[in-house]
Structure 1
Amino acid sequence: MESSQFITTTFRAELVKVADKIYGVTHKNRVSRVNVVTKEEALDFIEHDQSHNAE
């Protein structure tokens, strides 16, 4: 059986909860960095982003 890979960008908790690996991208001084983050870190980010945008 061939393996496959599906890459998506999202701020949806439903997709983060079922992901095998999650990456966070930060941008500072015109430089982007990609790091592996935990589901907890990703979900915290989404929650903070949604509450910040609701204001």
Structure 2
Amino acid sequence: MVRRLADVTSTQFITTTFHPELVKVADKVYGVTQKNEVSRVNVVTMDEALDFIVHDQSHKGK
């Protein structure tokens, strides 16, 4: 739905998600890291984002 709306209306959507379905259709994926209380935003590959999601999901409930 987001992809269709973006294509039809020439609109950008910025989302925060751990849902692989949204990552797979994104034009760009950003990762946010923190070191010494300073956040950094970097472009990451789709594979890196999906690997992070899988890794994050494996730690839920631990």
Provide TM-score, normalisation by structure 2.
0.80
Structure 2 portions without partners, runs of 5+:
1-8
Cα distance between partner residues in 1 of 2:52 and 2:45: 11
Give per-residue Cα distances to partners, 1:17-42, cap 9 Å, x unaligned.
00000000001111000000000000
Residues 1:32 and 2:39 aligned together: yes
**Separation of aligned partners in 1, 2:42 and 2:32:** 6
1:4 shift after superposition: 1.7
User: What is the one-letter code of the residue matched to 1:19?
Assistant: A
Larger RCO, structure (CA 8 Å, separation 6 or more): 1
CA RMSD of aligned residues (A): 1.3
Q: How many residues align?
A: 54
TM-score under structure 1 normalisation?
0.89
CA distance in 1, matches of 2:42, 2:35: 14
- Percent identity, aligned pairs only, is 76
The 2-side partners of 1:46 and 1:4 are apart by 26
| Structure 1 gap segments, 5+ residues each | none
